[in-house]
Amino acid sequence: MATYQTTLLGREEIAAWTMAFHLAKPPGFTFKAGQAIDVVLGDQASIDDGNARHTFSIVTAPHEDKLTIATRMRDTPFKNRLKDLPDGAAIGIDGPSGSLLLHNRHERAAVMIAGGIGITPFVSILRQTASDPQLRDLVLLYSNHRPEDAAYLAELQALERSNAHFRLVATMTRMGNSSEPWAGATGTIDAKLLGQISAELAAPIYYLAGPPAMVAAMRQTLNDAGVDDDDLRSEEFYGY
């Protein structure tokens, strides 16, 4: 991976306890939708103790003129340091890395399954396909506890309205704790839902992103349904 220097342009809250950080795009930096970067903060001592480096999927699409990352704001040394950075602060990035890339065979559908902040690589992919339309069926299954936890939900709903080849299935698992209304699906992404989605698609390839336990459970469910590992691609989000 190459190393670049950039600056923090700003930040915004995009869901409950979830922030997006916007970075200047360094000259010469290129990536593919679905890839990630390592964000490096602090001095060499903090880098060596493991508290100054974290991997984030890139939210922005390759054609955009900035880099955005998004994360749940937990009480960790790295995230506290990131939260306290002033706009204009210098940041190091290493990358790009990762292989959660959309396949090239347009006749095969793509089923993306995201848990929580695992949505970030899929936002990049869907923004890219919106700017470069391809005749490919895309389905996103997006699971959150509550609507207020669902980062980029409004944008994804707008993308669905503008793309006849994209279907969004968002589901909430803890509506009893929500203060917002929700007329969509509830419950977990299970074998029944996956079967209903897959039955309507041509030879889908599955993409999984989210907490390790969620990714492992989805992989097992798909394997049990007869999906071969060659048709499964995944990215596990640790410490988010």
Per residue in 190-234, pLDDT (tens digit) is: 999 999 998 889 899 999 998 899 899 999 999 998 999 999 999
- Orientation angle between helical segments 212-224 and 191-198, nearest 10 degrees: 60
Q: Give the residue-averaged pLDDT of 84-98.
A: 96
Could you give the percent of the chain with pLDDT greater than 70?
95
How many structural domains comprise the chain? 2
Length of the chain: 240
Rg of the chain over Cα atoms, rounded to whole angstroms, equals 18
Could you give the percent of the chain with pLDDT greater than 90?
80
Residue type, 240: Y
The Cβ-side half-sphere exposure at 46, using a 13 Å CA radius, reads 11
Q: Do 144 and 209 lie in a common domain?
A: yes
Q: Do 17 and 41 lie in a common domain?
A: yes
Question: How many degrees, rounded to 5, is the angle at CA 35 between CA 24 and CA 43?
Answer: 55
Lowest mean pLDDT among 42-46, 50-54, 201-205: 42-46
Q: Give the residue-averaged pLDDT of 86-102.
A: 95
Flag whether 206 is in a domain: yes
Domain that holds residue 26: 2-97
Q: Do 115 and 80 lie in a common domain?
A: no
Output the domain CATH number for residue 207: 3.40.50.80
Cα separation, 126 vs 232, in Å, equals: 18
Q: In what order do the strands lie in the sheet with 2-15?
A: 53-57, 36-40, 90-97, 2-15, 18-24, 66-72
Average pLDDT, the chain: 92
For 10-42, what is each residue's pLDDT tens digit?
999 999 999 999 999 999 999 999 999 999 997
Q: Do 65 and 20 lie in a common domain?
A: yes
pLDDT at 1: 72
Q: Do 149 and 223 lie in a common domain?
A: yes
Question: Model pTM?
Answer: 0.94
Q: Do 90 and 185 lie in a common domain?
A: no
Cα separation, 143 vs 218, in Å, equals: 12
Output the domain CATH number for residue 9: 2.40.30.10
Q: Which strand (E) or helix (H) includes residue 139?
A: strand 138-144
